[in-house]
Chains A and B, each alone.
Chain A
Amino acid sequence: MARDNSPRGRRRDILKTITIGGAIGISGLAGCVGDPDELGGGDDENFDTVQFGVLEPRTGEFSALAKEHYQGTRLAIQQINDSDEFDFTIEHEEYDTQLDPATATQQATQAVQSDGAQFISGCISSSAALAINSFAADNEVVYTPGAADISITGENCNEYVFRFETNTAQIAAVMSQWTADELGDRIVYHIADYAYGESVLNEVETRMESSSDSYERVGVTRSDQGSTNFEAFISQISDVSDEADALVVGMTGSDLAIFLSQASSRGLPDEIPIVTTTGSFRAVRAGGGEGVYNTYSGVRYVPEIETGDNQAFVEAYESEYDAPPDNFSRVGYESIRMVANGIREAGSRDPTTVRETLSGMEHETIFGPNRFRECDQQAMNPVWMGECVEPDSGELADVELLTQLSGEEAAPDCEETGCEL
């Protein structure tokens, strides 16, 4: 559902005008009620700096991914500020969203109202990102979320939200196609019982059904989000492993790492191929240890890819942080770069002007030519299928890429997204 774009309350302009009104100090306290739109405002075309607010949790299950995001963001800002290609510099503040959307909104408010941010970025948690989605539209600031929830650029989309993170629909496209081609179309699922798990189930199933007439859902087991004991589910999956061609796991983060570790201890990968959505994440591979070996995963990003200027990014990142980038490093990095391109192109730091420019604009990115497409403002990222294999040294599984889908092939049709921009 798109938001109404009529010229109703332009809050940032109102806030500016209030400040001016205070300074002028018109006398008289007699009150009256009026339309705040009368307060007016305008584009800001002469500027040296733009202000970004970066929102991520310092604690909790997303904090490791948030660290990657922070680092990618800082690197992009540093490069832009050092570059001659941009005639402005970016200033930014970082905010701790803690564990819930309420704090995320409060921190976003601080970024915009107190620190003057025109652009905000971050929030890997879907519920926090959805709260900031609304906030961005209400406050007319450009927002680049880190969450993969489909509805962010689907039914909850709005004009101020641009997402470089690859969403679940895009990753499900490559997963379902490769699984049907290489493993078979009789699928058993294990999903986390919340929006993310359900969206994986729906997306994979929809694509499987459309690509294969003989598709069969053998069974589904569901565990609560944050579960730490999957023995009972592994036993159930083991019981039907003879009837299915593959197990598709719709979980992420520590849930997935623990599941893979326990499944491996029970010898499940020897019974049935395991296909995941985010097993290629470095955080999952670190947590799952040997349990990740010999499993398949949709891949949003690995440092080894040779697209665009990715290798230059990897080199700069490793030089700065002494560690390779991962998915959320590139999300933070490219989100900032693409918005900066939009500001340069628009010649304005006014978020409304920038968002009009950004929509559909072509960029050179780490994935090569890319854009936030007009209909939902989702980046047209390519996606890969990969296998997590035992490394030559150390414990962290390597990811070997098996196949690729282009951005155009992976993205769902505009009519299917539920976004009406």
Chain B
Amino acid sequence: MIGGILQQLVDGLTIGVVYVLLAAGLSVIFGVMHVINFAHGELFALGAYFALALIAPFGGTAFFAALFVAPLLVGIIGVAIERFTVRPLYGRNPLYHILLTFGLVLVINDLIYLIWEPGNVNLPTPAILSGTIDVVGLNASVYNVFVIVFGAAMALSVWAMLEHTKYGLIIRAGSQDRQMVRNLGIDIDRYYSLVFGMGAALAAVAGIILGGYQTVSPEMGMSVIIPAFVIVVLGGLGSFKGAVAGGLLVGIIQTLLRTYAPILEGTVIFLLMIGILLVRPRGLFGVEMEEEGGELLTGSGGVLDDRTRKWVGLAAVGLLALLPLGAGTFYSTYTVTLAIEILVWALFALSLDFVMGYTGLVSLGHALFYGLGAYAVAIALLHVSQSAFVAIGLAIVISAAIAWVVGYLSIRVSGVYFAMITLGFAELFYNMLYRLEITGGSEGLFGISTYYGIAGVGIALDEIGLFLGPVTLTGQSLFYYIALAALIGSFLLTRRMLNSPFGSVLKSIRENEQRATFLGYETTRYKRRAFVVSGALAGLAGGLFTLNSGYAAPSFAYWLHSGEVIVMVILGGMGTLYGPIVGATVFFGLEEILTGFTPRWRLVLGTIFLLFVIFLPRGLVSLPARLKPLVTRDSGPGAEPAPDDSHMRGDD
């Protein structure tokens, strides 16, 4: 028994040390620069691929040289990323880093596919690191022992550098209070590039040693980024000690559970994070950090007055209503299918904007409610009633109820912690979908049919045709109007809410929560209500998708969908309601156009995101205001300062 536990400890330490290296860089970058770096996983993968390229001509013997050279190269790339993409964003809310680094993920990942081809590749290791060691009943491979020793030495070196050098002192001081460091006459900005480069190099080291332990593949970055974030948050943002403790803790607990409670394997990391954040909202070793604020650039009112905007809105709805009538004549019927997808995602984005754009709560787990709506509809149609109205009603109610529970537990933490705790709940749900019989396991639920009516009286869209003179509407075209009505209805509902006293309180929370509290509002309750509305609308979106497609799959609740919907909201312009609709349209439109041109379309899409977040931070809805001065040749209101105009930081 004791021998078994010792064996598990050795096994757990191997992966734990890699987690430490990965999380340490991520944590230091966030601590000093407040950058939520989703591209950290891709830098990790890049390290492994650079090592692969360096080792290939010489064989496993070049492994040690690669372990030094590849991180250096990735470090230089890290410095360049900070200098040319991250720096223009200082002073803005960390939310913008999500869009920026999401773009970087697409760019770097597609470059890896482009240069190295898809598939798993074995990273050769030197002969000296092969074989096994058997000591007092313990069995470990030599490579595992190397990973533990080398990883621990690296972590120790970084700790010594942070603790005992002037450079480390400034970094630590900067992570606690940047303004204080500046007041002392130290130009901390100069250190940012080095910190980013160092974090990238650490990720690359982790990528190489893990590459030798597993395999190297273009997906390896995506598979580690979420665990890495969870460890950083669990240990405490910006805390090196926290990253070490979190990494080792997760590595060992995960390994022990594989033996003693395998059912918890995929969920334990999230359960741990949620549990710790509920008890200790700033993580194990996190300290009371300065508010990560920064300017949250919500969409401006634009160049149109209210009356004109109303007419433009009505005209847009009119045009949308005409869209199916031209399908098959002026354009393909596929246009209607694509439009339905856009409408559903626009509704999903609108639901997120209601909490993100109006209360400042960034949910990184909104795919939970989308997936919940989809599965609620699927299960209701299969087991309760084939009525679409009953199914969609249940989806809304269940999504709202779960949103209340998630909101109740999550809203006690804020900022990145809120984003991560919502992600944790979403991942628990995603995992659950794989395991439960009622959700169809990994394959999902298929072959679902419905009718629009109640108590057995109604119509199935596939079985009727609506003849309008020369045009026949059936199936998809009819569903298009249902999706359009759901989006317009949700838009009007949320707009009504925002124009009510309830909406005013939400906006005040976004602008200054402390002040709203001083005015006597119980802000937590208002935020929770907004979260419930948002969850219900996201559930409606997911439910509509399943009604139309006839299936639900676990991928609906995958975290990447939560990331994509955030991108849509920022792309369109948050805090405007119509911005997310524009964002979803542009997102799918770009994807549609680019996929036709090149298989590596994500490279182009990522580059567009990078340029967009740097040069048009208020979203597409601000484009008219930015273009107006150019058209009218005056410097009219609404034009925002160029990104480099502002040297003010969020903490200034």
Contact = CB atoms under 8 A, between A and B. Distances in A.
Contact of B551 (A11, A22, A131): A131
Contacts of A257: 120, 122, 215
Given A100-B553, A224-B266, A134 B463 contact: no
A228 B472 contact: no
Given A18-B327, A114-B334, 7 more contacts: A27-B469, A29-B468, A33-B466, A39-B465, A102-B549, A224-B434, A231-B144
Interface string A277-310: 0000001101111110000000000000000000
Contact of B441 (A1, A28, A109, A195): A195
Nearest to B335: A114
B593 to A, nearest CB: 12
Contact of A64 (B117, B210, B465): B117
Given A102-B545, A109-B337, A286 B122 contact: yes
B122 A254 contact: no
Nearest to B328: A18
A61 B140 CA distance: 29
B121 interface: yes
Q: Interface residues of A toward B: which range?
A: 35 or more
Q: Name the 3 nearest CB pairs between A and B, nearest first.
A: A287-B120, A64-B119, A289-B122
A236 interface: yes
Contacts of A114: 332-335
Interface of A: 1, 8-9, 11, 14-15, 17-19, 21-36, 38-39, 58-61, 63-64, 66-67, 94-96, 99-102, 105-106, 109-110, 112-114, 126-127, 130-131, 133-134, 138, 149, 151, 156, 193-196, 198, 221-229, 231-233, 235-236, 238-239, 253-254, 257-258, 261-262, 265-267, 283-284, 286-291, 395
B8 A134 contact: no
Contact of A232 (B214, B258, B446, B472): B258
Given A226-B223, A238-B139, A265-B132, A254 B120 contact: yes
B469 A127 contact: no
B616 to A, nearest CB: 26
Of listed A227, A284, A288, residue having the most chain B CB within 10 A: A227
B511 to A, nearest CB: 37
Given A67-B118, A221-B262, A254-B217, A22 B553 contact: no
A225 B122 contact: no
Given A33-B464, A100-B553, A21 B471 contact: yes
Interface in B132-147: 132, 139-141, 143-144
A235 B139 CA distance: 8
Looking at chain A's contact residues, is the secondary structure mostly helix, strand, loop, or mixed? helix
Given A9-B462, A35-B465, A221-B262, A288 B122 contact: yes
Contacts of A9: 462-463, 474-475
A22 B470 contact: yes
B15 A231 contact: yes
30 contacts: A1-B447, A8-B462, A9-B474, A14-B475, A25-B470, A26-B469, A27-B469, A31-B466, A32-B467, A36-B463, A39-B472, A61-B219, A67-B119, A94-B599, A99-B558, A100-B558, A106-B338, A106-B341, A110-B338, A113-B334, A113-B337, A114-B335, A127-B444, A138-B462, A195-B441, A222-B262, A229-B254, A232-B258, A258-B214, A288-B120
B255 A8 contact: no
A286 B119 contact: yes
Of listed A66, A126, A233, residue having the most chain B CB within 10 A: A233
Contact of A63 (B119, B335, B465): B119
Contacts of B223: 226, 228
Contacts of B556: 100, 102
A34 B464 CA distance: 6
Nearest to A101: B553
A283 B120 contact: yes
A235 B8 contact: yes
B196 to A, nearest CB: 26
A24 B470 contact: yes
B554 to A, nearest CB: 8
B308 interface: no
A306 to B, nearest CB: 27
B549 A105 contact: yes
B259 A236 contact: yes
B550 interface: yes
Q: Interface residues of B toward A: which range?
A: 35 or more
A21 B217 contact: no
Contact of B474 (A14, A31, A265): A14
B100 to A, nearest CB: 20
B601 A96 contact: yes
Contacts of B366: none
B258 A233 contact: yes
B445 to A, nearest CB: 10
A101 B120 contact: no
B124 interface: yes
B265 interface: yes
B443 interface: yes
B329 interface: yes
Interface in B83-135: 109-110, 113, 117-122, 124, 130, 132
B447 A59 contact: no
A59 B333 CA distance: 28
A110 to B, nearest CB: 5
A237 B277 CA distance: 36
Contacts of A66: 118
B87 to A, nearest CB: 29
A232 B258 CA distance: 6
B67 to A, nearest CB: 18
A284 B333 CA distance: 41
B179 interface: no
B508 interface: no
A94 B601 CA distance: 14
B576 interface: no
Contact of B7 (A100, A222, A224, A235): A235
B213 interface: yes
A113 B477 CA distance: 13
A127 B467 contact: no
B334 A110 contact: yes
Contact of A21 (B214, B470, B551, B599): B470
A99 B11 CA distance: 31
B468 A232 contact: no
B414 interface: no
A395 B139 contact: no
B214 A35 contact: no
A190 to B, nearest CB: 11
Contact of A96 (B214, B215, B470, B599): B599
A383 to B, nearest CB: 23
Contacts of B474: 9, 14, 36
Contacts of B254: 229
A267 B139 contact: yes
Nearest to A11: B475
A387 B500 CA distance: 71
B558 A96 contact: no
A130 B443 contact: yes
B4 interface: yes
B16 to A, nearest CB: 10
Given A58-B599, A194-B442, A261-B214, A99 B560 contact: yes
B606 to A, nearest CB: 12
A56 to B, nearest CB: 10
Contacts of B265: 223-224, 227
B105 to A, nearest CB: 11
B524 interface: no
B410 interface: no
Nearest to B13: A231
A225 B442 contact: yes
B130 A265 contact: yes
Contacts of A224: 265-266, 431, 434
A58 B113 contact: yes
A288 B216 CA distance: 10
B203 to A, nearest CB: 16
B381 to A, nearest CB: 14
